[in-house]
Amino acid sequence: MHGQRPHPGQPHSAPPYNGAYPPHYGSPYGASPQPPVPGRLKAARVVIFILASLTSVGALACGLLFFFESSSPSTAQGDYWAGMFLMLAVVLAAWAVWQFVLGAKATTRRPWVMWAIIVTYGLSAASGVLNFFLSIGTGESTGGQLLGAGLAVSIAIATWIHRDYYTGRF
């Protein structure tokens, strides 16, 4: 009936529905407006959340140590350790929050997210390697520092490899 003239006195009929939506409702063909997130970035995001969770556990442990140290009888050395545990708990909590933010934003296609991840985990890797070499002389190096540095390097490299995803230049 479309394309035919209506009978005299009848209103024009609407064009047939072809299943397409107006452009502001999204693509009519089911295509995603953004490219899919590469698998390495998904894996890096999971590792970021795991590291953030471990950092949160460390912040909680330092907070508990502060609580126990500050509730014991006051001594000069006890107050020193309580202050150190409190400072470490606050720094670790802030670091955990920053990592959770990076994990949440890891698949956001913005260049600042890419650079924030690369700088954050590049510095984490450098501090882990430095901590490992400084602790060799004291006999306290366990290799855990190198494991953390390796994870940080893998996150930074996975992000750098997929920099085209963040900048939108495919």
Give tens-digit pLDDT for 68-117. 888 888 888 888 999 999 999 999 999 999 999 999 998 888 889 999 99
Strand positions, DSSP E, the chain:
none
Q: Is the pLDDT of residue 44 over 60?
A: yes
- The neighbour count for residue 158, using CB atoms within 10 Å, is 22
Q: How far apart are CA 78 and CA 159, in angstroms?
A: 43
Q: Is the pLDDT of residue 32 over 90?
A: no
Q: Tell me which amino acid residue 23 is.
A: P
Q: How does DSSP assign 66-91, residue by residue?
A: HHHHHHSPP-HHHHHHHHHHHHHHHH
